[in-house]
Amino acid sequence: MPFYQCIVPAGSLNADTRTTLAEAITEIHSTVTGAPRGFVNVLFVEYQPGTYFTAGKPNTCSAINGSIRAGRDRETRARLLTELSQAWVSITGQDARSLLIGLNDVDPTSIMEAGLIMPAPGEEAEWLERNHEVLGELLASQ
């Protein structure tokens, strides 16, 4: 957690672009929120032509659906949205008007990763230390 699901038209992003976007999303989330990089998950899902519609008409936009731990203030969420949009446009060349981004606040007590309930924002360092053995190198080294 967080979990960023990037929904894109089939074939619109090559492997290098997906890797660059995943790194940018990870860096933005970690920088803006202070969360460890190892918390950030990014998944790309492709959709086929004729399966995405807006106002009842076929659309070929991209969407980022980000689920983040609740507790971030409005300024932090606005900064995340702005920087995610800027990075996406810069990396893909896509017009910002064809990018939809949404952030969903999820109560940290409703999220489990690696068999552990996630910490509230600001409690990551103690949580990582307490769960070092369970998390191994993936998260504990962050």
pLDDT tens sequence across 25-55: 999 999 999 988 988 999 999 999 999 999 9
User: What pTM was estimated for this model as a whole?
Assistant: 0.90
Q: What is the mean pLDDT of residues 51-64?
A: 96
Residue 22: predicted pLDDT:
98
The token pair at 119 is 């910490």
Pairing of strands 99-106, 62-69: parallel
Dist CA 116 CA 75 (whole Å): 29
Dist CA 53 CA 126 (whole Å): 44
Q: Which residue has the higher pLDDT, 27 or 141?
A: 27
